[in-house]
Amino acid sequence: METTASRVRAVLERHVAAGAAPGAVALVGRGWEAEVVVVGNRAKESPGPMRRDGIFRIASMTKPILAAAALQLVEEGRLRLDEPVDRFLPELADRRVLKQIGSELHETVPARRPITLEDLLTFRCGLGIVLAPPGTHPIQQRISELGLVGFGPPDPASPLGPDEWLAKLGTLPLMAQPGEQWMYNTGSYVLGVLLARASRVSLPQLLH
């Protein structure tokens, strides 16, 4: 009899056979029961089999943790999903939006509505990674000139603190109308500043 775990194993084995990954580990749980599925090897250059306690590099895991913290503040009544972020992030009030992604920075229209907490959680705040080579559009050039992180891979060496980063971000027009386009990454950076201000502690303290 085919089980959920056996179906998961079959899918993972197909991905390993296709070269998508040398190996994988999955946990299939229902109620109080759980089964671990392990397939493949630990690395392409290693003949050792994958183990259930294998160590993986996982990227972008701060994002779901930030989302959980945001929802805790929603449960406590300190934030609302549909609330504009302007109350805590006045730097992002009264936004203007580029007419097109390739427009000059002064070629804008008013935002149809404010950015909300839900927009940040769903990466629809109107700012994010531009899927074009660096320097293709004026907005990319300006982001580079300002030294703004949050539009690509993380840069722990960035000298900008949260308030200075947000102040510079607030000088940019949005790339899309709030709520209308999914754009990865930047919303989480903005969310981090929002959570710190709403909770009145630093983000590391809040997450701890």
Active site residues: 60
- Residue 125, judged by CB atoms within 10 A of its CB (0-12, 13-18, 19+), counts as buried
Q: What SS3 string covers 77-117?
A: CCCCCCCEHHHCCHHHCCCEEECCCCCCCCCEEECCCCCEH
Helices (H) and strands (E) in the chain, counts: 7, 5
Among 28, 10, 179, which Cα is nearest to 95's?
179
Tell me, what DSSP letter sits at residue 85?
Answer: G
Place of tokens 């804008």: 108
